[in-house]
Structure 1
């Protein structure tokens, strides 16, 4: 399964009306310049877990990916993401996984 690729939506002095999409069950990916923020809205009746995938190892060992809970009916902002979150393929891509995607929407916002 492919991840949902998010395109950063840039804030503007004249305002930003963000567009939200439902993430794929495999998660989302976004290009990071260190100025992107991921907004997760959980419209479901249960909390979900968001996993921020660390793209690096330390002395050859995998690093534990940080997780956060988004409560039922809540929304949370994540980021900006530093280079530790970028995948090792050289594309500055960040991966984020979700424990469930039903009634969940996301947007990538750029500062």
Structure 2
């Protein structure tokens, strides 16, 4: 099945009420990293921790670069990112978005996730 695509939500001066989706360990997630200012917000509720893996398709001097792996402990949350475009962006074959960040999680019990962007500060408040 296709990855669950996270809608990127812009932080605005008037405030943002973030919309979260349930973690999907069977299909995993992706989001559009158009400007490189997107963060992943992962919340882990009761029972256990979740391992979040951000795929890194980069090759430097013929060596594959390691994926970014973050463990979010029980009853905590983590802001992960931003993700440099030249290192992390790749094609999400499911959605067809060429500048995607691919996110894998090992479990989805009590996991919620969102992608939020900090726009250029010159943007207009809405």
TM-score of the superposition, structure 2-length normalised?
0.80
Deviations 1:2-24 (A, max 9, x none): 21101111111111000000132
Question: Which residue pairs with 1:39 in the alignment?
Answer: 41
Question: Which residue pairs with 2:51 in the alignment?
Answer: 49
Residues 81, 87 of structure 1: CA spacing in aligned structure 2 closer, same or farther, 3 A cutoff?
A: same
In 1: Cα distance, 2:11 partner to 2:91 partner: 28
Could you tell me which runs of 5 or more consecutive residues in structure 2 were left unpaired when the two chains were aligned. Answer: 119-126
The structural deviation recorded for 1:88 is 5.3
What's the C-alpha RMSD, in Å, of the aligned pairs? Answer: 1.6
User: Considering only CA atoms, is the larger Rg found in Structure 1 or Structure 2?
Assistant: 2
TM-score of the superposition, structure 1-length normalised?
0.90
Count matched residues.
111
In 2: Cα distance, 1:104 partner to 1:17 partner: 18
The alignment partner of 2:46 has SS state of: coil
The structural deviation recorded for 1:60 is 3.9
**Contact 1:44–1:104, Cα closer than 8 Å, also in 2:** no
In 2: Cα distance, 1:60 partner to 1:92 partner: 22
Question: Which residue pairs with 2:88 in the alignment?
Answer: 85
